[in-house]
Structure 1
């Protein structure tokens, strides 16, 4: 893991970490209490949110955090496996992920809370994933998945997507061969190209590269909504009154940053796609064409209902305990992002 540190000093961080573990009622915030308005001087929040970090810096919105007394220690981390590992090592407060990591954090004994929900406007037109098909394999529809070797990572969004695809196709795990394989970087694309697997979920930004690099390859749309986007945090961080106040500010400014991204795609491409992800200018422009706009939902109800359905599916298919996902969301922050979005709120769940 590579961390990008802000100007927060080690002494300040150590003091704050000690405060996180404190049981002092003056610093411990009940999860039903109103979020504090004032950010105490020197408060640091450690966040893995690379895309929004780039947005904030490119737009100048990071000044709103500074003006409010919020000091962010940025971590170049995103995704479930990295963030849960960092949570367990007490090196991170919050991370940007899809919805699956919050489930696995709960199932593996790492208490977290979702403090932000976003959706994609017109999500089926702008999917996050397509199914990559290895060169020489014939998969023209979901029904053709029967008997195929499919890359599968149980604790990631890609793994849940595979199970949902099988469910939609009327297939079970017994009808295919699931190949355990964590999706990091180009792992799945390489596995497809080398024919280690027949099918694997590919991020939409990888699809063009994959088809160009491997002759005879193809992709198939899933037809499944896969746009879940959250910020989740350690529960103990949300219970820290100082960090909770800082997170309230961060959620509001994060909302503005994502809406800025919608209106400034070229600046976003340079700051994040090229600057952080290392894409060429040509690849960044290609990605912009397949990336939908971010929507800030007026209500979290629909996102929570989809998460519950996913949790129920994973409980059945992966032998996890039944989970009430309402315990994973801190809906005090729902009104914070709604207020920041104002008239740009999405209703009807963006579908």
Structure 2
């Protein structure tokens, strides 16, 4: 699940204002080593920025499972690192859907969070989240051709980490290219490519066809790098609230079922989220679904954490950040919750 199109500033402000009144009542303190509560206290509300899952939950009827368990979700049309960290700092949000990088930057910038959900793409190399978009008239047919190019770069987002990993794979350093600081919001990278403000930028693989249609002569190449990390991360103080932790336990199980529903109902997902929420045409939504990878719940988080540690080490080196032990950024009490919900559909082996 990735960042939706940018919201109007007023809409975002309104969403945050509406959420601000929801975080005042706290449940009993819960140690991070204590078992997750099984019963949700009446009136417990969790503030979630998870737009794609929201659409799936409502389309699939899984919202009834939340209601039956006594979980009230205050949905926010917020996801991705910059928006979610801003909302966390204002105590306007409990959890948000992101890739793996925002949890690192939250830690580096003094916001304490915990990852409570991990999902993967079952065939991640053949179904990447991103491809390297190439501006019209620019010759890039392999990673080696990146030398000397202007590349869109956002330090605190998954796209920025991918750029560093691509350079590493190509045997290039930051000195071999020009990194153009540009936050990826909506189609900002696509616009930058089309206007030739940059030569190369990571763009969603699902949007490559749209990009090429909008900007004739534009191209894209595969990175060959796994980029499918997908998480739900929450304010640490939210998982230390017994009432919210109990509600999140239910939500994590429902979220796993929602991803499996998406696999089984691609047309329903296309209509409920890509068309009705993101505003794509039926044809464009169909194209997105065609390149989407099948979602999976890993049987264990071990491999995901290994990849996250490698990324954290790379960013610490390349961006002069403090070393991080990423095991401190996850709450593995939720790991068996999502695997139990997925049942026999959990992903094992290298793909996990």
Q: Structures share a fold, TM > 0.5? A: yes
User: Paired residue for 1:341?
Assistant: 342
Distance, in Å, in 1 between the alignment partners of 2:20 and 2:315 is: 37
Matched, 1:57 2:50: no
Aligned to 2:125: 124
Structure 1 CA distance, aligned partners of 2:250 and 2:287? 33
Tell whether the 8 Å contact from 2:297 to 2:338 is kept in structure 1 after alignment. yes
Alignment pair present for 1:261 and 2:265? no
Query: Residues 135 and 218 of structure 2 are in contact (CA less than 8 Å); yes or no, is this contact kept in structure 1?
Result: yes
Q: In the alignment, which residue of structure 2 is the partner of 1:44?
A: 45
Superimposed CA distance per residue, residues 176-235 of structure 1 (whole angstroms, 9 cap, x where no aligned partner)? 000000000111111111111000000112210111111211111000000000000000
Distance 2:104 2:126 in 1: 26
Please give the secondary structure, in 2, of the residue aligned with 1:36.
Answer: coil
Partner Cα distance (1:150, 1:54) in 2: 34
RMSD: 1.7
Question: Partner of 1:144 in structure 2?
Answer: 145
Figure out how many residues of one structure are paired with residues of the other and give that number: 341
List 4+ stretches of structure 1 deviating above 3 A. 1-6
Q: CA deviation at 1:349?
A: 4.0
Counterparts in 2 of 1:3 and 1:256: CA distance versus 1, 3 Å: farther
Is the 8 Å Cα contact of residues 23 and 92 (structure 2) preserved in structure 1? no
CA distance in 1, matches of 2:20, 2:134: 47
Q: How does 1:127-206 map to 2 (within 5 A)?
A: 127-206=128-207
Which whole-Å CA distance do the structure 2 matches of 1:3 and 1:31 have between them? Answer: 31
Q: TM-score scaled to structure 1, two decimals?
A: 0.94
User: Unaligned regions of 5+ residues in structure 1, if any?
Assistant: 21-25
Paired with 2:71 and 2:218, the residues of 1 have a C-alpha distance of 48
Q: Provide the C-alpha distance between the structure 1 equivalents of 2:173 and 2:344, rounded to a whole number of angstroms.
A: 44
Q: Equivalents in 1 of 2:122, 2:285: separation in Å? A: 20
Aligned residue number for residue 23 of structure 1: none
2:76, 2:290 → 1: CA distance?
Answer: 28
CA gap of 1:339–1:19, structure 2 versus 1, over 3 A, is same
* Distance of 2:350 and 2:33 partners within structure 1: 26
Aligned to 1:282: 283
Distance 2:217 2:246 in 1: 53
